């Protein structure tokens, strides 16, 4: 650790470090909220469509028009959720 000639210099450094840590904590908290919202959106809007796709595959075959349409709906919902709640690198 660097030596400081005065207590005010040390206090200034500590204040700057505290501000930096606070900004990092706020960014992490924001991303946690976004992640939780993304999970909830998947559960509400995408998971059911995934089951419909799997059911269509089982009933009509993976390459059937019914399965293709179900797959498009499912992946469209997933892409919309990803766009609404993007992941960020912190």
Q: What is the pTM of this model?
A: 0.70
Domain ranges for the chain: 30-89
Tokens standing for 36? 């939780």
Query: Is the Cβ–Cβ distance between 85 and 38 less than 8 Å?
Result: yes
Closest among 49, 48, 50, 33 to 85, alpha carbons compared: 33
**Phi and psi angles of residue 80, each rounded to the nearest 5 degrees, phi first:** -65, -40
* pLDDT tens, residue by residue, 36-67: 999 999 999 999 999 999 999 999 999 999 99
Query: Is the Cβ–Cβ distance between 33 and 90 less than 8 Å?
Result: no
């Amino acid at each position: 650790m660097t030596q400081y000639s005065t207590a005010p210099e040390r206090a200034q450094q500590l204040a700057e470090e505290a501000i930096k840590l606070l900004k990092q904590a706020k960014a992490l908290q924001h991303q946690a909220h976004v992640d939780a919202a993304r999970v909830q959106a998947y559960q509400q809007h995408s998971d059911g469509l995934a089951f419909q796709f799997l059911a269509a595959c089982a009933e009509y075959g993976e390459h059937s028009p019914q399965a293709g349409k179900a797959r498009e709906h499912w992946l469209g919902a997933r892409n919309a959720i990803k766009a609404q709640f993007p992941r960020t690198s912190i």
